[in-house]
Amino acid sequence: MSAVNASGWRPSMGEGAGEAKFATSSGDYGLMLEEALSFELGSADKCGVDIDDADRAPVSGLGRFLRKAAPALPGLTEPETVRHYTRLSRQNYAIDLGPFPLGSCTMKHNPRLNEKMARLAGFADLHPMQPQKTIEGALEVIEQLADWLITLTGMASVAMSPKAGAHGELCGLLCIRAALDARGEVRDVVLVPESAHGTNPATAAFAGFKVESIPATPAGRVDVAALKAKLGPNVAGVMITNPNTCGLFEPDMREIADAVHAAGGYVYCDGANFNAIVGKVRPGDLGVDAMHINLHKTFSTPHGGGGPGAGPVVLSEALAPFAPLPFVTRGDDGSIHLVEEENASEGHAQAFGRMVAFHGQMGMFTRALTYILSHGADGLRQVAEDAVLNANYVLRSCEDLLPAPFADSGPCMHEALFSDAGLADGFSTLDIAKGLIDEGFHPMTVYFPLVVKGAMLVEPTETESKAGLDRFIASLRSLAERAKAGDESLHSAPHFAPRRRLDETLAARKPVLVWQGEAGVPGTPSLSEIGGS
């Protein structure tokens, strides 16, 4: 394995800010910058916006409704605002800084053309309730993206409005509920594999179903026999993640779907891991009835520190009539129509209702369509192949040091799963994860899936170069060796991050969820007040 830091760069600070050789007067250490809260920096007499005509604004007509005092929110001028948020941004790790190998999260590069296109005034400065003649280009974006999603998945239809993956899951399950209602059947159980993402059982419960768990086989797949044994007249359907959360394809998907259909149920597929198979496999060919697609995973819209996402749901012929309002259709003459409450009775009377105000995540649709057009059918196929290749490269480059529980049964898909078995006594996944931070990487997904003890789920994505992967692999191997040798310094990692390990117990025991001080206290607080030494 090639040497780490081949460029010769070394961390300039001995043991992190907290253990530096001397304390600086400012509390900052070179480019390691501390930043107070906006509430501590701002004051009531500052404003970063010059408001036209503010002096001649009458407020008559509101009488008894008037607020007694302006909200207690300190303001900052523009230079202070730009500096506050820029300094804060430097305390974040991000894809733009290096690999972000969170398993099941598909943290790939976010192309900047997507951002530019979403900001065209013709998309960004458009009101959702403008007359249809003034929004035809927007409806066309939705229709074109819908067409790509339908074709890529081999399904009949797509509901575009869900706001994120979990919201898409809910949409799919409500379509199933509506289809059962239309059949006049009451089925109240949804089967969910124990390896599923937490949103699956939460969504099923949110939609009013009872959740029954299906075990995994020793090979990390759904136990088909156990699943079949649970099928019956009370089962509305199954929720299966494919590729699954162990990073493996479910080879028996078609058999499972056939059995579920034969028993009168429907198949929901969690599409969080679609990146592994886009352009290679169409879920519609596997008997899937509904699948959400996280545009913020497979189709590169940015995660933004926790959203916004978008979760369109592709639907089979059986579920398509129940898709929620609003949606966009193309007539036989090529004209595009927006279907909402006003005109739904014309041929869409079975729509199960509405999940959001307006049309869904338009800003994500423009970004995803831009991404899809950039790649084309050939490029998307290459995306899946490179994502799977990168994951298998990590798997085979580390499995001699970190046990890979399912590697004997063959290649993985887009993510490599390891466990912490075999580390020295008292060392675990957490030590490897926090050690990676010191190495300059974001950790992988840890302790998930729950079916593997001390799980480490690494999803490199296709946008990592081989050289970048080699650096990551070298760090991961080095950490595994240190953990096997019982290197105690790992227990206190990270040493070089903006913060050391944080006291999560304290945060939960005495929740402090809003700033407790008074607004507009002038001046920067002393370092001791913001917690420095």
Partner 1 sequence: MRYLPLTAADRTSMLETIGAATVDDLFVDVPTEARLAGPIQGLPAHASEMAVERHMTTLAAKNVSAGSAPFFLGAGAYRHHVPASVDHLIQRGEFLTAYTPYQPEIAQGTLQVLFEFQTQVARLFGTDIANASMYDGSTACWEAILMAARVTRKGRAVMSGGLHPHYGEVVRTMAKFTKDDIVSLTPELTADPDDAAVIASIDDKTSCVVVQYPDVLGRIPDLAAIAEAAHAKGALVVAVVTEPVALGLIEAPGALGADIVVGEGQSLGVGLQFGGPYLGLFGCREKFVRQMPGRLCGQTVDADGKRGFVLTLSTREQHIRREKATSNICTNSGLCALAFSIHLTLLGGDGLAKLAGVNHARAQATFERLTRIPGVSLLNTAYFNEATLILPRDAREVVRELAEKRVLGGVSLGRLFPVADGLHNGLLVAATETTTDEDIEAFALELEVVLEGASA
Q: Please give the residues from 285 up to 344 whose contact with partner 1 meets the rule CB under 8 A.
A: 285-286, 294, 296, 302-310, 324-325, 341-342
**Could you say which of 10, 22, 45, 184 contacts partner 1 (CB under 8 A)?**
45
User: Where do the H-state alpha helices sit in 187-264?
Assistant: 199-206, 224-230, 253-262
Options 3-11, 87-95, 223-231, 232-240: segment touching partner 1 (CB under 8 A): 87-95
Minimum distance from residue 175 beta carbon to partner 1 (Å):
11
Contact (Cβ atoms closer than 8 angstroms) between residue 260 and residue 239:
no
Neighbours of 339 (CB within 10 A): 17
Size of the site for partner 1 (CB under 8 A): 212
Query: Given the complex with partner 1, which of 8 and 131 has the nearer CB atom?
Result: 131
**Could you say which of 99, 405, 435, 443 contacts partner 1 (CB under 8 A)?**
443
Q: How far is it between the farthest Cα atoms of the chain?
A: 76
Minimum distance from residue 166 beta carbon to partner 1 (Å):
5
List binders of partner 1 among 482-501 (CB under 8 A): 492, 494, 497-501
**Could you say which of 32, 146, 150, 152 contacts partner 1 (CB under 8 A)?**
152
State yes or no: residue 268 binds partner 1 (CB under 8 A): no
Neighbours of 498 (CB within 10 A): 16
State yes or no: residue 359 binds partner 1 (CB under 8 A): yes
**Could you say which of 177, 187, 292, 471 contacts partner 1 (CB under 8 A)?**
177
- Beta strands 210-214 and 336-339 are unpaired
State yes or no: residue 522 binds partner 1 (CB under 8 A): no
Q: 281: Cβ–Cβ under 8 A, 6 or more apart, which residues?
A: none
Instruction: Please provide the distance, in angstroms rounded to a whole number, between the alpha carbons at the two ends of the chain.
Output: 40
Query: Given the complex with partner 1, which of 8 and 69 has the nearer CB atom?
Result: 69
**Could you say which of 217, 382, 478, 524 contacts partner 1 (CB under 8 A)?**
382
Neighbours of 487 (CB within 10 A): 16
**Could you say which of 32, 103, 146, 148 contacts partner 1 (CB under 8 A)?**
148
* Measured distance CA(244)–CA(221) in Å, rounded: 8
Minimum distance from residue 256 beta carbon to partner 1 (Å):
12
User: Which region holds residue 106: left if phi is over 0, alpha if psi is between -120 and 50, else beta?
Assistant: left
Got the DSSP string for 287-320? T-SEEE--TTTTT----TTT------EEE-TTTG
List binders of partner 1 among 390-429 (CB under 8 A): 390, 392-393, 395-397, 410-411, 413
Minimum distance from residue 399 beta carbon to partner 1 (Å):
11
Nearest Cα to Cα of residue 465 among 374, 390, 377: 390
Options 204-212, 313-321, 416-424, 482-490: segment touching partner 1 (CB under 8 A): 204-212
Minimum distance from residue 410 beta carbon to partner 1 (Å):
6
* Measured distance CA(280)–CA(173) in Å, rounded: 26
3-state DSSP call for residue 331? coil
State yes or no: residue 183 binds partner 1 (CB under 8 A): no
Options 5-13, 226-234, 312-320, 437-445: segment touching partner 1 (CB under 8 A): 437-445
CA 337 to chain centre: 31
List binders of partner 1 among 89-118 (CB under 8 A): 89-97, 100, 102, 105, 107, 109-111, 113, 115-117
Minimum distance from residue 335 beta carbon to partner 1 (Å):
13
State yes or no: residue 264 binds partner 1 (CB under 8 A): no
Burial 46-71 (b: 16+ CB within 10 A, else e): eeeeeeeeeeeeeeeeeeeeeeeeee
Minimum distance from residue 219 beta carbon to partner 1 (Å):
10
Strand blocks (E) in 304-455: 313-315, 327-330, 336-339, 416-418, 445-446
Options 6-14, 222-230, 257-265, 507-515: segment touching partner 1 (CB under 8 A): 507-515
Minimum distance from residue 230 beta carbon to partner 1 (Å):
16
Query: Given the complex with partner 1, which of 8 and 525 has the nearer CB atom?
Result: 525
Nearest Cα to Cα of residue 147 among 157, 138, 132, 139: 157
Minimum distance from residue 15 beta carbon to partner 1 (Å):
11
Minimum distance from residue 243 beta carbon to partner 1 (Å):
9
* Measured distance CA(368)–CA(299) in Å, rounded: 5
State yes or no: residue 280 binds partner 1 (CB under 8 A): yes
Nearest Cα to Cα of residue 4 among 496, 475, 402: 475
**Could you say which of 226, 401, 424, 437 contacts partner 1 (CB under 8 A)?**
437
State yes or no: residue 184 binds partner 1 (CB under 8 A): no
State yes or no: residue 31 binds partner 1 (CB under 8 A): no
